Structure 1
Amino acid sequence: MADAIVIGSGPNGLVAANLLADAGWHVVVLEAADAPGGAVRSDRGVDPEFVSDLFSSFHPLAVASPAVRGLGLEGFGLRWSHAPAVLAHPLPDGRCATLHRDGGAPDPDRLERMFGAHDAAAWQRLADRWDRLDPHLVNALLTPFPPVRPGAAIAARLRPSGLLDLARFLALPVRRLAEEEFEGEGPGLLLAGCALHADLLPEAAGSGAFGWLMAMLGRRYGWPVPVGGASALTAALVRRLESAGGEVHCGQPVREVVVRNGTALGVRTADGRGHRAGRAVLADTAATALYGGLVGWEHLPGSLRRDMRRFQWDFATVKVDWALRGPVPWSAPAAGRAGTVHLGADLDELGDYAHQVLTGRLPARPFALFGQMTVADPTRSPSGTESAWAYTHVPQRVTADLGPDGITGRWDRREGEAMADRVERQVERFAPGFRDLVAARRILTPPVLHSLDGNLVGGALNGGTAAPHQQLFLRPVPGTAGPRTPVARLYLASASAHPGGGVHGACGANAARAALSAHRRSPARFLPAAGPRR
């Protein structure tokens, strides 16, 4: 009998499993797919000579997160690689805003050359704000709510007036932040593009803080990639777990969490086998898959069923992977040195795109996040070539196509090809001749993404919207915030729980710590000898 069963081997599940194993628990991870990793996997499916990340590629949150950093994965084979520049946002006229990693040692001359004197000083003020709060702000965001210790550390660094100013700053829409701070376009575009990694409109409350967070993580830590592909991060997590006595079993889809008298006793897999858990079951699954799926509604309060009907997913996604014969021919040469490139002409275009997606309309000009993986890690493809990808958000339900292709949201082969062509045309705006370099491409539509990882429901990448009404103590729903569930010894360990999406492992770490804390408090620490029954 395992002490704990973890359902799912994404980064949250594997971080949770490692922390429980470190506490001396015998942990078994059951994964439905044929390989571990969830949304942190790579393959050679585009071209045998090219490594392509299927989902997540750049990992600033992983290197900043205490949960991941504390595991010492470098001792288990993980190596990080950085592009010469973190992020670029080219403009149609050939100018380019660029973000560099400085590790807290800024280069004022470079900032002034890029932004001009006024905006360089404004950008430095944003960096100084981050430096005053580092590392307590990241710790506050990634630990269970309320974040008592990091919150107290932040309060100690800021006077009451400073706390009020911080509260206002964190609530600002990124458009308003750019209007207040900058004269030119570049800095605001960097922040707005970062905010659009989630489903936050430039006009949405909190989008400024999210964009600032991602940009400052890049400045401090970079946006690194695992050498050899995203699967290298997963492999290090698995090796570490196995070295501590944990087990990972793939091809073992869980069909049921076995509940008796309000307590999780274990799980039942698709082959009908029961697996006992003596202390806890942790579910690295979408909240919608756990509540009413793995756990029947008869074991849950009626209020939860009502609240889950209001659970909101983030935007769907279309991703295109390419094997390119040569480097991307950017009109702005600085973009060629960045691992990630944001593609949108100006803040109005970004705002229009986001509003169209939010209202069910497929944009004619999609904002695209473009990854240059060989620039970031030369092992990804042969010398002189580029392993690249781009993704764009699309509506969960398409009500209209503002482009010429009549895409309906069926996402059949024709619609996938049409959307990939649309993304390529967006790249061509900033890199004329790009399409001539394409040796092979792979298209991952929302249904394909969902089929590859069941947690990417409808192609959503972040486990649910990042909007304020479904964050902190409201995630996944009011009353079940964080990892604890209405079922004893059952914990939600996925991005559907606080703090949400991203490869930071915090959702899993929070669930593991909740399980350990509950076990220490429990007078009856082990379940009866009888195995799970219906």
Structure 2
Amino acid sequence: MSAELPRSESADAVVIGSGHNGLVAATMLADAGWDVVVLEAQDRPGGAVKSAELTPGYISDLYSAFYPLSVASPALADLALEDHGLRWSHAPAVVGHARSADDDDAPVLYRDIDRTAAEFERHHRGDGDRWIAVCEQYQRIKKPLLDTLFAPFPPVRGPAGLLRRLGTAEALRLLHLLLLPAGEMARQLFDGEAAQLLLLGNAMHADVPVDAPASGVMGYLLLMLAQDGGFPVPVGGAGQLTEALVRRAESAGARVYCGREVDSIDVRGHRATAVNLVDGGFIRCRRAVIANTSAPQLYRRLLPADVLPLGPQRQLDRFVWDTPVLKINYALDAPIPWRSRSLAGAGTVHLGADHDGLIRWMADLNTSTVPTQPFMLFGQMTTADPTRSPMGTESAWAYTHLPRGRSDDRSAERLAEAVDAVLERHAPGFTGHVVGKVIQRPSDLEHSDENLHAGAVNGGTSQLFQQLIFRPIPGQGGPTTPLDNVFLGSAGAPPGGGVHGVCGRNAARAALAADGAVGWPRRRLNRAVSRLLLG
């Protein structure tokens, strides 16, 4: 990181927040020759990509942990982070899903496609061939599909590529498939419960109910990424991904300052002119401000209140956050004693629910009921990366959700007890091997990163009504704002949550396109569109 920031400074661009999106944006602008300053309120960079030794000898990922979107993302691939010290590691198996507490033969997905097909075929005749067919289709559409998902809205090149490769009829069938609820998608693709539940469990990595339209997209994408590139982890902890991003940004000339909280953004006319710090310092910005913050934080705290008209302000008041997260970090003195030995090699494990159980769990979340039978993601980090803890031990975590409006500490403690009970049922003797345990309640998550409002880690719900042109609010979708040189570069903008860096890339590209005399027509167009859509 850079030396002490002078009390007053100037830069071409100021990036607020050093999460991965902010660092991607800073690197791209610095690569373009801009003088870039990154300001981080916390004492370490990284946002929700950090690790720490919570128990001596055990490295825990504090927030995000497995990174299939990272290795698939063009935004991160273009930065060549492996040249800056990043190394990836994989578990022997990618992901498993225990169907019930007494399941002693849980289905597992492997990086080898033939082994996965054989696993699905063993559980239900014919599903092996169905899996091969789905994967073959994905390989045909992989590039245009990812181009579509990772492009600024509206995407053009990706859909055009899909039409060329599939033809109109098959492209319509694919669109229909991707718009299905996750439960219906699983039933259309597979006949057996094993493969269906792996799709459903992966769909639950987002906060979209399994019976909601388009909830199957996340399940389909993560299943395909699991087979295509696995669920990798950075060797040495999630923080190593951040360290590589910082080194890459600084090698391009960006300056990263920690412990520097932003208070407000000065605005004159249609432009931001300076960024003010809580400690009284300020930085004049000559060309752009990129906010790697939540959308409500940008519009409600940092910018003047009149930047948004009254109608959009009211829409922002109704901004829907994703459901609060409870995360528990475990240090164990032995491998997890799974009832189903098939789970021993899986980096990611889904626990606590079959299809009907997922519906009941979502019903609890939607009726403000703290679940007693929570569905959860469970990460075996030493299994995925042996550097995380001593040989013969396991650094692990469990991750689940509370209902919106029930993110208080007491509800979190109740849910943590239920998580331990579920783990004990799936792995008898689990609690006896725990030598360290740290609970991250929603309040803890928000305290450590203001973007994680009330424990929401996705920058806002992933449901269809707050995606695409509706993210963060209708009429203000994408990285642009009503100001000529302020851009939203966080998960609050499309395509949303996940460690892919595309939100930061989109913001940087928008800033470059709108800059200077060449960007004058783009700025005029953005203003006209904002007036039309925002009123």
Matched, 1:522 2:512: no
Report if aligned partners of 2:17, 2:39 keep a CA contact under 8 Å in 1: yes
Note the alpha carbon deviations across 1:506-525, whole angstroms, 9 max, x for none. Answer: 00000000000111523599
Matched, 1:9 2:18: yes
Q: Displacement, 1:429?
A: 1.8
CA distance in 2, matches of 1:331, 1:252: 48
User: 1:26 — aligned with what?
Assistant: 35
Distance 1:356 1:416, change over 3 A: closer
Partner SS state of residue 258, structure 1: strand
User: 2:280 — aligned with what?
Assistant: 272
User: 1:411 — aligned with what?
Assistant: 409
Matched, 1:455 2:465: no
User: 2:442 — aligned with what?
Assistant: 446
Matched, 1:185 2:193: yes
Partner SS state of residue 58, structure 2: coil
User: 1:328 — aligned with what?
Assistant: 336
- Counterpart of 2:496 (choices 473, 482, 500) is 500
Aligned length: 510
Q: Displacement, 1:112?
A: 4.8
CA distance in 1, matches of 2:508, 2:267: 19
Report if aligned partners of 2:120, 2:194 keep a CA contact under 8 Å in 1: no
Q: Displacement, 1:167?
A: 1.5
User: 1:486 — aligned with what?
Assistant: 482
CA distance in 2, matches of 1:136, 1:332: 38
CA distance in 1, matches of 2:471, 2:232: 28
Partner SS state of residue 266, structure 1: strand
Partner SS state of residue 160, structure 1: helix
CA distance in 2, matches of 1:221, 1:418: 37
Partner SS state of residue 223, structure 2: helix
Q: Displacement, 1:334?
A: 1.1
- Counterpart of 2:324 (choices 316, 329, 351) is 316
User: 1:59 — aligned with what?
Assistant: 67
Distance 1:277 1:439, change over 3 A: same
Matched, 1:475 2:471: yes
Q: Displacement, 1:444?
A: 0.6
User: 2:111 — aligned with what?
Assistant: 101
More deviation, 283-292/301-310: 301-310
- Counterpart of 1:304 (choices 307, 312, 318) is 312
Matched, 1:161 2:195: no
Partner SS state of residue 172, structure 2: helix
Q: Displacement, 1:109?
A: 5.8
Report if aligned partners of 1:19, 1:509 keep a CA contact under 8 Å in 2: yes
Q: Displacement, 1:299?
A: 2.6
CA distance in 2, matches of 1:265, 1:73: 32
Q: Displacement, 1:430?
A: 1.2
Report if aligned partners of 1:201, 1:355 keep a CA contact under 8 Å in 2: no
Matched, 1:238 2:234: no
Matched, 1:428 2:437: no
Report if aligned partners of 2:472, 2:493 keep a CA contact under 8 Å in 1: yes
CA distance in 2, matches of 1:524, 1:499: 25
CA distance in 2, matches of 1:114, 1:354: 30
Q: Displacement, 1:114?
A: 3.8
Gaps of 5+ in 1: 399-408, 526-534
Report if aligned partners of 2:124, 2:191 keep a CA contact under 8 Å in 1: no
Partner SS state of residue 44, structure 1: strand
Report if aligned partners of 1:65, 1:139 keep a CA contact under 8 Å in 2: no
Note the alpha carbon deviations across 1:198-257, whole angstroms, 9 max, x for none. Answer: 111111111112101011111111110000000000000001111111110000010101
Kindly report which structure 2 residues correspond to 1:333-344, keeping only aligned pairs within 5 A, or say none. Answer: 333-344=341-352
Report if aligned partners of 2:144, 2:159 keep a CA contact under 8 Å in 1: yes
Q: Displacement, 1:94?
A: 0.9
User: 1:532 — aligned with what?
Assistant: none
More deviation, 72-81/513-522: 513-522
Q: Displacement, 1:118?
A: 1.4
Report if aligned partners of 2:370, 2:415 keep a CA contact under 8 Å in 1: no
More deviation, 140-149/298-307: 298-307
Q: Displacement, 1:108?
A: 7.0
Matched, 1:368 2:365: no
TM value normalised by structure 1? 0.93
CA distance in 2, matches of 1:115, 1:515: 51
Give the aligned CA root-mean-square deviation in angstroms: 1.6
Report if aligned partners of 1:88, 1:341 keep a CA contact under 8 Å in 2: yes
Q: Displacement, 1:158?
A: 1.3
Matched, 1:142 2:138: no
Note the alpha carbon deviations across 1:64-95, whole angstroms, 9 max, x for none. Answer: 00000110000000000000111011233312
Note the alpha carbon deviations across 1:371-421, whole angstroms, 9 max, x for none. Answer: 0000000000011100000010111213xxxxxxxxxx4315xx5443222
TM value normalised by structure 2? 0.93
CA distance in 2, matches of 1:319, 1:151: 37
Note the alpha carbon deviations across 1:246-269, whole angstroms, 9 max, x for none. Answer: 110000010101111121112001
Gaps of 5+ in 2: 1-9, 523-535
CA distance in 2, matches of 1:109, 1:305: 51
Kindly report which structure 2 residues correspond to 1:104-253, keeping only aligned pairs within 5 A, or say none. Answer: 106-107=114-115, 110-253=118-261
Partner SS state of residue 395, structure 2: strand
CA distance in 1, matches of 2:261, 2:339: 48
More deviation, 374-383/425-434: 425-434
Report if aligned partners of 1:380, 1:387 keep a CA contact under 8 Å in 2: yes
Note the alpha carbon deviations across 1:135-168, whole angstroms, 9 max, x for none. Answer: 2211211110111112211111111111210121
CA distance in 1, matches of 2:296, 2:363: 26
CA distance in 1, matches of 2:519, 2:343: 56
Code of the residue aligned with 1:8 in structure 2: it is G
- Counterpart of 2:302 (choices 289, 294, 297) is 294
CA distance in 2, matches of 1:282, 1:347: 41
Report if aligned partners of 2:110, 2:227 keep a CA contact under 8 Å in 1: yes
CA distance in 2, matches of 1:8, 1:390: 27
Report if aligned partners of 2:412, 2:442 keep a CA contact under 8 Å in 1: no
CA distance in 1, matches of 2:353, 2:374: 10
Report if aligned partners of 1:259, 1:299 keep a CA contact under 8 Å in 2: no
Report if aligned partners of 1:262, 1:299 keep a CA contact under 8 Å in 2: no
CA distance in 2, matches of 1:112, 1:287: 42
Report percent identity of matched pairs: 49
CA distance in 1, matches of 2:274, 2:205: 36
